[in-house]
Structure 1
Amino acid sequence: MILTTTNSIEGFKIKEYKGIVTGVAMTEKTPSIGFSMTKYYKAIKESIDLVKENAFQNLQENAKKLNANAVVGIKLDIEMTSANYAMVSVTGTAVFVAE
């Protein structure tokens, strides 16, 4: 599946707009804070990377349910809660493209 933040895909023509799709994911546990800020920031980064990947997987699954083969105009939103949980929301337009 093609994923892009742009509204078009070079070399492809959008044949059908399927609808808006979203993928959302959230950390399942709070990263360990410990006493080292370097380790803390590394743990937060790793947590966000994992959650972001899960959100993109959810986005693709939702696009496939609409028989789309691409998602254009993707927007990404990352939020940290006060308890250091990361939440990622990915939204875009599911489309069917052809060369």
Structure 2
Amino acid sequence: MKKSELLEYLSEKFPHIDRSTLSEILNGTFEAMTKALANGEKIEIRGLGSFRVKERDGRTARNPKTGELVQVPPKKIVHFKMGKILKAKLFSKKVP
């Protein structure tokens, strides 16, 4: 689902709120999440899951085109862990 599709869904779900206000709320939510992750904070959304920043170690890799060995530096990634309710819905288990 793209951001525009999410905005469309919210517009249909909440017709009494104008689209520009919903867009501001959505953008503000994503901005707050981005800032929290950039500060190393964990984001937990009950029923959905949690996001946190992990650091991947540097490693030696091979360039598939040339076969040359190259050093890949350490980097940060965002890790998502699915919540129990989402997992139950995806795998058709009884939702608590």
Greater strand share, structure number: 1
Greater helix share, structure number: 2
One fold, TM greater than 0.5?
Answer: no
Q: Normalization by structure 2: what TM-score?
A: 0.30
Q: Normalization by structure 1: what TM-score?
A: 0.29
